[in-house]
Structure 1
Amino acid sequence: MPTLSDRRDTPPIDDDAPPQSFDDFDGLLAATTLLQNPRLAREYVYLCYYGPATIQDLIDELGLARATAYDDVERLERLGVVDRDESTRPHQLTAEPFAFVDGREVAITPTLLHAVALTEFDDDAEYFHNRYGVGRLVRAVRAAAEYYAGKLTQRMAAKEMDVQPVEGMAIIYAVRPVLEAGREYDPYFEQLISPDPDELEFDGE
């Protein structure tokens, strides 16, 4: 990690092809696990964006139970997405950003993981994720970026997501902090969205 895999030009797999990189496999397994667990995704993104941090920082900032925080950090370490510096007291935790991109333009980046993490505490994001799944959440993040870049209206963005206008409006506003943080901290931000990051405009900037 970080690993960026772009498989758009990858030829079909055949029996004589070399095996996929073990690092890539481990990274994809880790990314998939984070996609399926909003709490782990939230902890990873916090460390990725705001680390180094201690377990106590996670407890305080994310409102985690102590036992949960310790268990989750051990799991994130086993996944290979979090490192612990045992030379410090208390131990400092760090996480590096990573991304996976494939030929279908599906990207797993810290920004998308942040959107998944949002479902743990934002009702609109939770509703959208539960109703439509991660794939549609990717479309929502991209459409919201187009909206904040002035390229789509709210109604057009909802059509891009294939949802009702009221659902589109709700998720557009829900993922705004995801886009704001991603533009600042996610080095793979442009792998997920199509507008130039500098084109995104948020009220109050």
Structure 2
Amino acid sequence: MPTLTEKISIAGEGTAPSIDDFDGFLAAATLLQRPRLARSYVYICYYGPATVQELIDTLDVARATAYDDIERLETLSLVERDESTRPHKLTAEPFAFVDQDELAITPTVLHAIALTEIDDDLEYFQNRYGTGRLVRGLRLTGEHYAGQLTQRLVAEKLDVAPAEGMAVVQALRPALAAGQEFDPYFDRLFPAIADAIDVDIDRVQPRSDRTNE
């Protein structure tokens, strides 16, 4: 799995990804469509090496579910298992994909998707408006916490009701907080404002994304 995929030039055709990158892109796209898998990937990426038992305990998932998800992530080459240890340790590398000079997918984006698995407001928003609008909401939320937009303006730019926009801004705080600390491509997602984003979370912890508990 590449840690960063840049565009390459094709004469007369602009830019396109190397053919070798498509397996990785499809794997990342799978995470965009499966929030539970994204949640396990992001946890291992941010807090690993981790054991399957840690995922079961921290993410509060059934044992069979955890093993199924890890097997799927391994099949997608997103997670590696160190079988020299007992219990086995799982690791995952952060990655990013570039689409027309803008990052389409980073761990921070995948964390936002993962939060729909456990946050009612984000689940509702994604179901109603789609993943693309949720990712745009993440970018706009970054601008809000950088002091550039009010929550009402975020809602206007998303073309949603003020209450929906404000709920999204609040619910995405954990993704921004963890991204600042653990996502090596955070400044590529927010190129002009990464250092200015202040989500007012003192310390990021694995379970801090449980906003509805």
Task: Report if TM-score (shorter chain) is over 0.5.
Answer: yes
User: 1:122 is matched with which residue?
Assistant: 119
Structure 1 residue 6: Cα displacement: 3.5
Stretch moving more, 179-188 or 190-199:
190-199
Structure 1 residue 153: Cα displacement: 0.9
Structure 1 residue 160: Cα displacement: 2.0
Q: List structure 1 segments (4+ residues) > 4 angstroms apart after TM superposition.
A: 8-14
Secondary structure of the corresponding residue to residue 39 of structure 1 = helix
Identical counterparts, % of pairs:
63
User: 2:74 is matched with which residue?
Assistant: 77
User: 1:43 is matched with which residue?
Assistant: 40
User: 2:180 is matched with which residue?
Assistant: 183
Query: Partners of 1:11 and 1:132 in 2: how far apart?
Result: 37
Query: Partners of 1:103 and 1:37 in 2: how far apart?
Result: 24
Classify 1:194/1:172 alpha carbon distance in 2 versus 1 (closer, same or farther; 3 Å): farther
Unaligned runs of 5+ in 1: none
Query: Partners of 2:193 and 2:2 in 1: how far apart?
Result: 23
Q: Normalised by the size of structure 1, how large is the TM-score? A: 0.91
After superposition, residues 18-97 of structure 1 pair within 5 angstroms as 20-22=18-20, 24-97=21-94
User: 2:7 is matched with which residue?
Assistant: 7
Structure 1 residue 48: Cα displacement: 0.3
Per-residue CA distance 1:153-178 (angstroms, 9 max, x = gap): 11111122222211110000000010
User: 2:148 is matched with which residue?
Assistant: 151
Contact 2:10 / 2:16 at 8 angstroms: preserved in 1? no
Q: Normalised by the size of structure 2, how large is the TM-score? A: 0.87
Structure 1 residue 196: Cα displacement: 2.5
Classify 1:204/1:69 alpha carbon distance in 2 versus 1 (closer, same or farther; 3 Å): closer
Per-residue CA distance 1:122-176 (angstroms, 9 max, x = gap): 0011011111111111110010000000001111111222222111100000000
Unaligned runs of 5+ in 2: 203-213
Contact 2:177 / 2:201 at 8 angstroms: preserved in 1? no
